[in-house]
Structure 1
Amino acid sequence: MEFRHHARISEIPARAWDALAPNDQPFLRHAYLHALEATACVGEGTGWQSAHAALWDDGRLLAAMPLYLKQHSMGEYVFDWSWAEAYARHGLDYYPKWLASIPFTPVPGQRVLGVDAACRRALLGGVLQAAQHSGLSSLHLLFAAADEVRWAQELGCMRRTSVQFHWHNAGYRNFEDFLAALSGEKRKKIRQERRRVAEAGVSLRVLEGARISRQDWAFFTRCYARTYALHRSAPYLNLDFFELLGERLPQHCVLLIAHQSGQDIAASLLLRDSTSLYGRYWGTLADVSCLHFEACYYAPIEYAIQHGLQRFEGGAQGEHKLARGLQPVETSSLHWLADARFARAVEDFLARESDGMAQYISELEARNPLQRQNPLLLRSAEEN
């Protein structure tokens, strides 16, 4: 078997890469990663230098991993700025570092693809060994799958836990069924927030796949860029990327556009696969009370119910999502640091942070707005 780094994902045949992917999740697709490179969202000048890892056997791809050399920590959603500052205070370089992740995408799942578990583990070991001989500060594997967490820890990496908020479909027949599962206080609040949007004369239309036009993508990008501008930052993605995404992966694209008084005023982009819906980006050109909640949570949940999807992932962070029916879910990242002194300090920090995170998740679960008994199950028992 031969271990290689690839400076562009186009060096790896799309069919071979996609054949290793575990499911139809869009973010691991060759077309998604290629779109990021082809539209200069990653690459020269961005701080993301592609160095994808692959394991080959006589021309056959056995395992692959999206891998980057990073010159900063932006767009990762697992924050290590303090680690970089500590390195700098001691006159050491933290950047560049190795990063195994999907750029700008805090969606948990496999990061190491392969024909079987043995090949996946072999590639992970090869990447770690290459990092150890590279002279760089560290290797980071973000939002990894459970088996990758176990393998990485066995190879000497440190685990870091964080929390996201996901909605789970308990067999709801419609949005009202979902509301019936919530406590009365939360149910009332959600109805009030949806009513405010309707009373403002705002309606949402759902566009999927090929129905999303170039004009729609341009409008969405305008909204998306404005959101970043309001936070005094620059967007990671551009119109070329979104158009290419719609062209290459239309089956995964869902665009919600809000309309008021004859004009489109806001948009929310979601991606989907056969089981899950993923909230990605949103923006608005008008200030409408509760429109963010409608476009980013309630309408997506309603879409997921209508299409029989099992899960809606609302993205990174956001404790306010708990009040809207999303539940805390623990995620994992893995970290290896070359400097033994910093590794010990980080290991101690992560142990304390992990204890705090476990307590935080317990507190969130205690505030669960879902009632203990699922009304759908009660109704089913009564009918039977």
Structure 2
Amino acid sequence: MDTDEITLVHHGFPKPKYVRLRVDGDSLRRESRSGESGRPRHSAKDCGSPTEAGYALAKETRKRLHDGFVMLRDPAEAAVGEPVLVAAAPNHCSSQVLDVHPEGHTLVVGTTLKGAYGAEIHLVDVATGVRRLVHTEPAGERQTFVHTVRFDAAGQGVVHALNGETRHLDLATGTSRTLASYEQWQTSDFNPFCVQPSWDRDRARLLVFDAGNRARVLDAAGAPLLDLDVARQPECRAGALSPSGRLLALAFGTGPAHVEVWDVDTGRQAQRHGFPFPYLDPERRGRLRRRGGARFRPDGAAPDRQRGFCRRPVRHGTRHGRVGVGGPRSVPVDAPGAVPDRPVGHVLRLDVLPRRHPSRGRRPRHGRTARPRHRHRTP
């Protein structure tokens, strides 16, 4: 978010608070008010140079975002790809665990507390940026990691993965029920950092991983539709349902690796494809890619096997499109009657800012120029 001017708002007060920050030459100027018609208050800070003023704007923006302020834009006025909400993740920590309500009006964000002991799940209203805490996982003797959060089809509950447990949280009552549970290297070989529960496009079928090395596909009520024992396979590194929910893809092994495609309705294996290992990835300058995920292309005709340490895809509401990142290798799969994906509408984006503003780069200390990390000494 590289800008010389930004307007932030905080709706967590009886009267919303507004702050406008802008760079004016060597100065950072602030304009704040309470309410739409409140009297504005002005202040300025001399930073010495336009560059220092830009650093000061980025620093104050991060601070206010972590205090609960947000940047909002009307979706009707935003161009394609522009954010309509910029907010900081709760608990002063970044988060890649988020989902958008099927109607697009609410975000669900999962975060861990200090030291990863304890976790929280928050709802964020897209129109106002107001947060609401809906679940707290108390700190215990072991660390707690929220691996995924996904709204159900009605948007009235959230499926989330907490360590090796997959739970459904009822947002109306606050009660949770366990859908699957395992302990890595004790009751299963699954790695919760690699395999997580996932829905199909309509969120009618859910893939979960359970004790005894079982991969299951459940219907919306939690009844099993497909139950696979993968104990005799190499380690399962990823899994995904096709958009229609008819096919299940599971990726096994790190070298050699292969992907199996199963028909959920018949319980039969439809395809099996191997992947060479090791291989070089041109996008990562020849580095070996060892870890990754699997997901189907939007048309459901082929699963994508992803390797490498890449960012997770950000999933959006099914009626508002979605965005994925990474460079997959695709393999053909026969999928007669595959349902094409829905058209993509406006993109809803949540920017979760890191501690250091990436667009500004590293700031030299005490005004000095940056020095190389390694210095060559002359004998």
TM-score bracket for this pair, using the shorter chain length: under 0.3
Which of structures 1 and 2 has the bigger CA Rg? 2
Bigger strand share: 2
Bigger helix share: 1
Greater length-normalized contact order (CA 8 Å, ≥ 6 residues apart): 1
